[in-house]
Amino acid sequence: MNQIDLNEKVAVITGGAQGIGLAIAERMLDSGASVSLWDRDQKLVEETARSLESRGKAEAVVVDVTDLDSVKSATEKTKTSMGSIDILVCNAGIAGPTVKVWEYPPEEWQQVIDIDLTGVFYCLHTVSPVMIEQNYGRIVNVASVAGKDGNPNAAPYSAAKAGVIALTKSLGKELASYDIAVNCITPAAAKTRIFDQISQQHIDYMLSKIPRNRFLKVEEAASMVTWLCSAENSFTTGGVFDLSGGRSTY
């Protein structure tokens, strides 16, 4: 495993209690960073933070990314306890039901959009000024290949992730005059607890689209995200990095 230098950096990872977020936290701790795990599941995030203590400094912050006041409070708490926020990984998300557009419950649509898109905006809206003030930051938003291709029976998820890609490009341009890089990744599906929300038929569909004929490993996502959050990534911003196993080539 390559050693990526994140020494003395502070990373916020939303949805950091499990899955891809947890893998990113582990890799960043191993790279010398301190991590602040933002998650709405208090019991799980506190257990996760305790389990990471042997790797380095990790704290648990209970936050609802759909609530702007909650995000503002989490930002202030992390700044106070950790001293700064150098890295932000917007990873929190849900899949929502696998239903056709004309059958999709509007309230379920709204929940997916609120968490997967508006929640990312709230975090960027709140943390960007911290990075501007210190003239340094690295931001990675976790989008999805669904945001490029549009998965059937997953319209709100696909729409939200497409929005995250566009949001990344916009903010990357807005922050280009600072030493702040804003990029996103577009992974294919990884076997995490998000699969619990998806039908087996939809899981089979996603696998059938991946030329490598397997799902993404969370450690593979963590490797790419960690490098994108390093000082070495000093020029690329507004970029979209595929982790699709060959499914998406543009």
For the segment 46-67, what is each residue's pLDDT rounded down to a tens digit? 999 999 999 999 999 999 999 9
3-state secondary structure of 57: coil
Domains in the chain, CATH or no CATH each:
10-243 (3.40.50.720)
Contact 97, 197 (CB under 8 A): yes
Rounded to whole angstroms, the Cα distance separating 102 from 93 reads 23
End-to-end Cα, the chain, rounded Å: 28
CA distances from 38 to 17, 84, 143, 213, 216 (A): 8, 15, 18, 32, 23
Residues 181, 171: Cα–Cα separation, whole Å: 9
Buried b (16+ CB within 10 A) or exposed e, 213-222: eebbebeebb
39 in Cβ contact with 47 (< 8 Å): no
Per-position pLDDT tens, the chain of length 250: 788 999 999 999 999 999 999 999 999 999 999 999 999 999 999 999 999 999 999 999 999 999 999 999 999 999 999 999 999 999 999 999 999 999 999 999 999 999 999 999 999 999 999 999 999 999 999 999 999 999 999 999 999 999 999 999 999 999 999 999 999 999 988 877 766 767 788 888 888 888 888 888 999 999 999 999 999 999 999 999 999 888 876 7
The pLDDT assigned to 13 comes to: 98
The predicted structure's pLDDT at residue 34: 98
Asked whether the CA dihedral 222, 224, 227, 229 is positive or negative, the reply is negative
Q: Is 119 exposed, middle or buried (0-12, 13-18, 19+ CB in 10 A)?
A: buried
Strand order in the sheet with 58-62: 58-62, 34-39, 10-14, 87-90, 137-142, 180-187, 240-243
Query: Within 10 Å of residue 138's Cβ, how many Cβ atoms?
Result: 27
Give pLDDT, residue 197: 67
**String of DSSP letters for 97-111:** --B-GGG--HHHHHH
Considering the entire predicted model, what is its pTM?
A: 0.94
* Catalytic residue numbers, as ranges: 157
In this predicted structure, what is the pLDDT of residue 183? 98
Q: Do 207 and 215 form a contact (C-beta atoms < 8 A)? A: yes
How high is the pLDDT of residue 142? Answer: 98
- Bridge-based pairing state of the strands 180-187 and 34-39: unpaired
What is the torsional sign of CA 244, 176, 61, 65? Answer: negative
* φ, ψ (nearest 5 deg) of residue 160: -65, -45
- Separation CA 120–CA 191 (nearest Å): 22
